[in-house]
Structure 1
């Protein structure tokens, strides 16, 4: 199965870094800073989940300076992915590292929070979503399909969060940064959907 990842994904990243650079010299209101800092929680989650799932290690190996001394995630592990899914999730992982850099080049940020990425946590989420206890328990690391299902919820939350934040931002450069983040999250969402729904 051949999947074409849109070049707009990479263009969005380039625009994102240009936006972040131009924003450093701008003055942001406290509300703009809060709206830009809040998504750091999700960006840390995405970066760690994708890095661990694809590569078997996280920010402490790839970009320890971005953690600001925050604790390592609990229960994260490398997933059993086929080559295609591993390649795509690796790209997503480094996009999320770029998101963290873009946000932290704009606002001060905060240390990585404690993240529970254990299969037990994802199992509880799936049981709650389906209103029944799955047997065997859902394990996002067991195979590529499970990892994609678990991954799907994360960019979707990012998309809705950035859509909600953008109209509330006052500074044009802050709006451009969030629009760039939104573009990449939307592209990730689309790629995951395609992988989930294209017949194998």
Structure 2
């Protein structure tokens, strides 16, 4: 019989190892030896390594999506939604080393496609926010929404590159804040600028 507690423990131990050493470097035997979880328990919950990797990626996506949905539901306006997105969801990616994404793309096509599909959902959410901001008069009426959304998505994805963070000695959160500031200032109207500056001030995000 499957146990939710065991299922969650296997996923958490797998994340620690996969994020640190990559997917190819950690075998199911390694997982058993390093986590102390018997192999028979692991295979009771996951039929193979691909299923385990898929579960780990699904967890990452769902935690990110839940937070973004919360931001959408609680936002007063389009700018407020983007500002709210500056916090915690990106910190969950901090422990992930570059090898994890390399292995995922090259050796685990199913989970990688899940991640790529989620990026398309993120793109749709950015376009929706841009339309909302234009309707409110907070964003420029002359935006190429598809192009701007692509740029914003690349900003967010680049924030998840650990080697970039290490080079500049910045946290992922710091990168997100700086990219977001740049993004919003580039698309805001005069009305939007006033509101943006008010939000940045109240959230302590203005440059000192």
After TM superposition, the score normalised by the length of structure 2 is 0.28
Q: Which has the higher helix share?
A: 2
After TM superposition, the score normalised by the length of structure 1 is 0.29
